[in-house]
């Protein structure tokens, strides 16, 4: 474990896959697979292929937030501007191809922010 996300899920290095960075769902960490659920536990979500790409992705996200601040974006009163969202998606895709994996951490983040930008009044 090298950290955690804002929901308390562990950010870990998966040594079995050469050091990929993954998020382990804290709610499923100690659960066992059951006949009824047919889910594999614990829930593991890909994040980045390496710690270096994780660091670059986090920096990219920080720059994205900075861009929103420069535009004077207020989450309370405004919808999300589309240009920073397009920039974030392009940069994260350039950094790591894991972004393209459905269900990956950064893919979910992009889809969420894209949804906020598309739901303009």
Q: How many domains does the chain have?
A: 1
Note the pLDDT tens digit of each residue in 37-66: 556 556 899 999 999 999 999 999 999 999
Q: Which of 102, 109, 49, 101 is nearest to 84 (CA)?
A: 109
How far, in Å, CA of 90 to CA of 94, rounded? 6
pTM over the 0.85 mark? no
pLDDT at 27: 76
Task: Find the domain containing 31 and state its range.
Answer: 3-118
- Does the pLDDT of residue 5 top 80, yes or no? yes
């Amino acid at each position: 474990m090298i950290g955690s996300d804002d929901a308390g899920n562990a950010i870990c290095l998966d040594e079995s896959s050469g050091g990929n960075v993954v998020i382990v769902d804290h709610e499923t960490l100690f659960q066992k697979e059951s006949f009824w659920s047919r889910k594999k536990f614990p829930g593991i979500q890909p994040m980045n292929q390496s710690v270096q790409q994780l660091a670059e992705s986090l920096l990219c996200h920080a720059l994205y937030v900075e861009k929103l601040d420069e535009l004077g974006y207020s989450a309370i009163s405004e919808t999300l501007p589309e240009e920073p969202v397009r920039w974030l998606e392009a940069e994260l895709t350039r950094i790591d191809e894991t972004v393209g994996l459905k269900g990956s951490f950064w893919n979910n983040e992009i889809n969420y922010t894209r949804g906020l930008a598309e739901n303009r009044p």
